[in-house]
Amino acid sequence: MLLLECPYCGVAADETELAAGGEAHLKRETVGSLDAEFEEYLFMRENPRGVHFERWRHAYGCGKWFLAARDTMTLEVFGTYPAQSKKPPKAIENLIKKKRPDWKGWA
């Protein structure tokens, strides 16, 4: 069972109260982008065995989107943060670096 803390409500929400939204921090391509860049944006997703950043929605609660950093193999949650973030907060990044020294960075 995956428990993620909603950064808005402050409650530990169960996986079944949430809706998964796929990979976080995608860069949206727009007018003038190359076909290859569009392909990357529309279809290509990371599928790591380890540290991953994801979008989640607190569907059965406040209804807001948030982002989560977790390990897809151990299900360890490093932290959650608001969806308005362009990149993970420094604190979460430092925590991951400490716990997973071989992690290559979020981008």
Partner 1 sequence: MSEPQTALQGATAQGFVTVSEDGLHGMISLRGDLNDPKLKAAVAKLTGAEVPAAGRISWKGDRGVAWMSPDELLVIGPYSSAGKDALVLSKALKGVHHLVANVSDARAVFRIEGAGFREVLAKLTPADVSMDAFGIGQIRRSRFAQVAGACWMLEEGSARVVCFRSVAGYIFGLLEHAARSGSEVGYF
Stretch that binds partner 1, among 7-15, 29-37, 49-57, 85-93 (CB under 8 A): 7-15
Q: Cα–Cα distances in Å, from 36 out to 12, 40, 75, 105?
A: 40, 6, 33, 24
> Within its chain, how far is the Cα of 25 from the centroid?
7
CB 75, min distance to partner 1, A = 16
**Count of residues interacting with partner 1 (CB under 8 A):** 14
75 Cβ contact list (under 8 Å, min separation 6):
2
Query: Distance between CA 72 and CA 49 in Å, rounded?
Result: 6
CB 56, min distance to partner 1, A = 15
Residue from the set 22, 36, 44, 60 that interacts with partner 1 by CB under 8 A: 60
Stretch that binds partner 1, among 6-14, 32-40, 42-50, 96-104 (CB under 8 A): 6-14
Residue with tokens 């065995």: 49
Contact footprint for partner 1 (CB under 8 A): 8-14, 16-17, 60-64
